[in-house]
Copies of this chain bind each other. A is one copy, B any other.
């Protein structure tokens, strides 16, 4: 059932049937369904589990006292929120949904048990954690150095590749279920400017965005226009030395 998550981990290494079963049963333990714009975790909480997004989109965000909000990470199906975060006393940020969503709560104990018994999974979770950190760094670059259109184009490239990594694209097309206000909070821009920047990208033929449907006619062109290089996503099967060798050949 956590097929997007499994698919993502297999970008790093091939899992054995036993690995997959272990993850499936862990994810089956406790499942929740929530509406759009709901908090899953609030700032100040102390949670003892990890959340895995199964369907829908969510985000990690921080809010300033005066109401300004910054989305610091977007979560799409297959994304794991806050691995190991429970070493810290309390959450310094919140996690909320952008769309209706379902997610699995995996307890720390369950995750620890799996990691102990399945070293390949442990490595893959490590990889996932490090890639998340790398994405966070790239967002810092994005906000610090890129112009509005580069910034937005960069985000769309990243999301497209991440969605493709979990099997949620078709050809050069994917969904973009966020509102323009969500994009604004993620990019540190006003909604008005997001709107105009999207129009610029459309006018330049770099994207086709109708409603929640995004098409990127020429990904290489969008990447070039956004100074995007995919290396920071580390989608290069770098854990192949750990690949499971199944006993049964085809």
Residues of A within 8 A of B (CB): 60, 62, 64-66, 68-70, 72-73, 84-85, 87-90, 92-93, 123, 126-127, 130-131, 133-134, 136-141, 143-146, 186-188, 227, 231-232, 234, 236, 238-239
Contact = CB atoms under 8 A, between A and B. Distances in A.
A227 B85 CA distance: 24
B88 A127 contact: yes
9 contacts: A60-B137, A68-B145, A72-B140, A87-B238, A88-B127, A88-B234, A92-B231, A133-B136, A139-B140
A73 to B, nearest CB: 8
A147 to B, nearest CB: 10
Given A66-B227, A140-B140, A143-B140, A92 B133 contact: no
A87 B123 contact: yes
- Copy number in the complex reads 2
Nearest to A230: B92
A143 B234 contact: no
B134 A88 contact: yes
Nearest to A12: B87
Given A65-B227, A188-B145, A133 B130 contact: no
Contact of A72 (B60, B126, B141): B141
A89 B144 contact: no
A144 B188 contact: yes
Contacts of A146: 64
A88 B139 contact: no
Given A72-B140, A89-B238, 7 more contacts: A60-B137, A84-B130, A87-B127, A87-B238, A92-B134, A139-B140, A143-B144
